[in-house]
Structure 1
Amino acid sequence: MVKRTRYLLKRPKSTKALHQAPGTVTYVGRKEQVETVLEVIDYNAEAFERFVSKTPEDAFKFEEEDRTTWINIDGLSNTAEIEKIGKYYDLHPLIIEDIVNTNQRPKIDEYSDYFFIVAKMLYYREDGRLENEHISMVLGKNYVITFQEAGGDVFDGVRERLSKAKGRIRSRGADYLVFALLDAIVDNYFVVVEEMSDKIEAMEERVFDPQPNDDITLEIQELKRTMLRIRRAVNPLREVVSRLEKMDHELIQEQTINYLKDLYDHMLQVSENIEIYREMTWGLMDMYMTSISNKMNEVMKVLTIMASIFIPLTFLAGIYGMNFEYMPELHFKFSYPILLVIMSVLIVGMLIYFRRKRWL
């Protein structure tokens, strides 16, 4: 379970950046008043160093050629600190603008000496709500910088592999670290999609429940909105990975391309599952309306059969309920029991007829 820090949530307002010059750094997001915290991991095959700081200058001393430095920044609302980091690493002003704009869709921009990647981290919070967190990555020659909205992420596995020298990550460069981070994000997509699958299956069972909850339509609409959020986060990232594995750039080593191809295969699998579950989600409302219609048809069939049975009985009762003086059957001794027998025979005969027609 991903642990989250406390922060003040606000609705993102893209209008903050209106009427401003391109490259103006304005935070657009929900997680205001989050203190900027830097986590720096500097490593190679033989050495490993990690520390946490609130001062950006502490991350500027790692420039050794034989090491890879991963700088993770939590908190984007303090734009002055973000600009300071961007200025030190000579990032384009438009890149800084995109870093603090959480409405930015996943993409990749190629520059002469670095790549800029935008992705979305998806995970379920403890209250069951889906969290969609904006994350930016800068891949340089010997460094990777990641920018997150708030503390907590899906990279604990990567940190553990780095600290314990598991696998090949410590012996590879910054490009492999970017692959590992993207791979962690995509792996968590599988978790989110699997959770959505369980929710859809549970909703299907509720749809066919004899007495479904009145709020089921609202819950289906919420599922549809959640599915759209997942789709908007995943599909653009598939294009990002596809472009990354096809790039001919000195920052991407040839041995890393094979891993990126495998990552792209995972993205295709996630996208296919999302499309399947999206169709299933869209079909839930049709299934519910069909179920309601079938139940209504059953009710109408019963009422129609009852009305059909009582029509001839009402006809007979109407005839002999008239107050005419000269009706011979009224003075016959056995008129009443004979009429009851006729009515009973009509009821039984009509029920038999309905049964043979399979209306019952």
Structure 2
Amino acid sequence: MRAFYKNNNGLIVVPEWFPNCWINIECPTEAEKKYLLEELQIPEAFYDYIEDIDERPRVELENGWSLIIMRIPVTSDDVRLPFHTIPLGVVFKGDVCVTLSFSETEMLTDFVTYTQKKSIDIKDNFDLVLRLLLSSSIWYLKYLKQVNQIIRLAEDNLEMSIRNKELQALLQIGKSLVFFMTSLKGNDILLHKIKNIKDKRDYFDFDLLEDVEIELRQAQETTSIYSDILTGTMDAYASVISNNMNDIMKRLTSISIILMIPTLIASLYGMNVPNDFQNNPYGLWIIISVSILLSAFGVYLFKLKRWF
């Protein structure tokens, strides 16, 4: 999907490219790839870097082109990994500025809407990069709130659970938090590299830089807190599940022992050998009564010892 935006107190969609507009491409088709590489003449290496799902945040320069890669959060339909991160590349040279990603994201659509609501004027390409970094940090925090809700729901399900399903759900959330933490650290390093670009350092909006730093730090700290909480929760509830299983096994064992009492008596008097009750008309009832009394005594003893 390809879209063109012009800066007019907020980003406004325009039908075609013109100098200094922003080109946003998501999930590029072959035609869009050809447009990038042949018409705009973006270095093919830049395209390949962004296509690599594991690419780390960094800055690259080649033939006058600049590439800035950051990692942004996205949701997934895969229940095994509900949240993960993808590389978002910003490629620019002269009057050409392109953002490229290989997954659809909520962040970029929200970013455009936000600039329109707040009438934000984007000064240059580096200003766009900083605002995208700020927006990505805010979306990390949004997704972290959803992660917190999932953890709480899993905690409710785990209280009486003896299954591994809930722990596996928490394990997947833990993987998402690892992706978040790694990507946020990479974005933080990227921000410091951008700040240290000599020929641009004096032109940055320092208020915007401070906002980006604050949001990045908050996202990192929140991710770290949730990761610690999740680790403690998984350890605690692994023990809870083990204890629940032990309690059930104890109850089943107690029931088996109680049932063994009448079974043992019936087995002894059911042997094909002479015994004192073989000719007694009340022998059967005497045996049943004794079995019940001994079983009741066994239940009482188990209750007294808190084994049942």
Instruction: Label 1:248 to 1:330 Cα distance change in 2 as closer, same or farther (>3 A).
Output: same
TM-score normalised to structure 1 length: 0.64
CA-atom RMSD, angstroms? 4.3
Query: Is 2:301 aligned against 1:353?
Result: yes
Partner secondary structure for residue 118 of structure 1: strand
The structure richer in helix per residue is 2
What CA distance in whole angstroms lies between the structure 1 residues aligned with 2:117 and 2:288?
92
Deviation at 1:118, TM superposition (A): 0.6
Residue 240 of structure 1, aligned match among 190, 195, 199 = 190
Q: Does 1 or 2 have the higher relative contact order (CA < 8 Å, sep 6+)? A: 2
SS state at 1:41 partner:
strand
CA distance in 1, matches of 2:140, 2:204: 25
Other-structure match for 1:81: 35
Distance 1:186 1:52, change over 3 A: farther
SS in 2 for 1:74: strand
Distance in structure 1 (CA, Å) of the matches to 2:67 and 2:143: 25
Structure 1, residues 130-153: CA drift from partner, whole Å, max 9, x if none? 575542124678875423447765
Distance in 2, matches of 1:319 and 1:135, equals 79
Q: Describe the shift of the 1:310–1:147 C-alpha distance in structure 2 as closer, same or farther (beyond 3 A).
A: closer
Paired amino acid for 1:154: M
Q: Matched residue pairs, number? A: 303
- Letter paired with 1:270: A
Aligned counterparts, 1:1-360, within 5 A: 37-42=2-7, 51-53=14-16, 58-59=17-18, 62=19, 69-75=20-26, 76=28, 77=30, 78-84=32-38, 87=41, 94-95=45-46, 97-99=48-50, 101=52, 103-109=54-60, 116-124=67-75, 130=83, 132-138=85-91, 144-149=97-102, 154-156=107-109, 158-160=111-113, 166=119, 169-170=120-121, 172-208=123-159, 219=169, 222-245=172-195, 247-253=196-202, 256-278=205-227, 290=239, 292-325=241-274, 327-328=275-276, 338-360=286-308
Alignment check: 8 A CA contact 1:244 1:260 kept: no
CA contact 1:329–1:335 (8 Å) conserved in 2: yes
- Cα distance, 1:251–1:316 mapped onto 2, change above 3 Å: same
CA distance in 2, matches of 1:331, 1:164: 99
The Cα of 1:350 is off from its aligned counterpart by 2.0
Identity of aligned residues (%): 16
Structure 1 residues not aligned, in runs of 5+:
1-33, 63-68
Out of 347-356 and 131-140, give the one that drifted further: 131-140
Residues 326-358 of structure 1: CA deviation (Å, up to 9, x unaligned): x55656786655544443332232222211211
Instruction: Measure, in 2, the Cα distance between the counterparts of 1:324 and 1:127.
Output: 68
Structure 1 residue 312: Cα displacement: 4.1
Kept in 2: contact 1:39–1:51 (CA 8 A): yes
- Quick one: structure 1 residues 84 and 344, their matched pair in 2 at CA, closer, same or farther if it must change by over 3 Å? closer
- 3-state SS of the aligned residue for 2:107? coil
Task: Name structure 2 gaps, 5 residues minimum.
Answer: none
- Structure 2 Cα separation of the partners of residues 316 and 157 of structure 1: 77
1:322: Cα distance to partner?
A: 4.0
Asked if the contact 1:74–1:150 (Cα under 8 Å) also holds between the matched residues in 2, the reply is no
Question: Which secondary structure state, in structure 2, belongs to the residue aligned with residue 200 of structure 1?
Answer: helix
Are the equivalent residues in 2 in contact too, given 1:86–1:96 (CA < 8 A)? no
Report the Cα offset of residue 298 of structure 1. Answer: 3.2
TM-score between the two structures when normalised by the length of structure 2: 0.72
Deviation, 1:103, is 4.5
Report deviation, 1:272: 3.1
* Rounded Cα–Cα distance in structure 2 between residues aligned with 1:226 and 1:48: 31
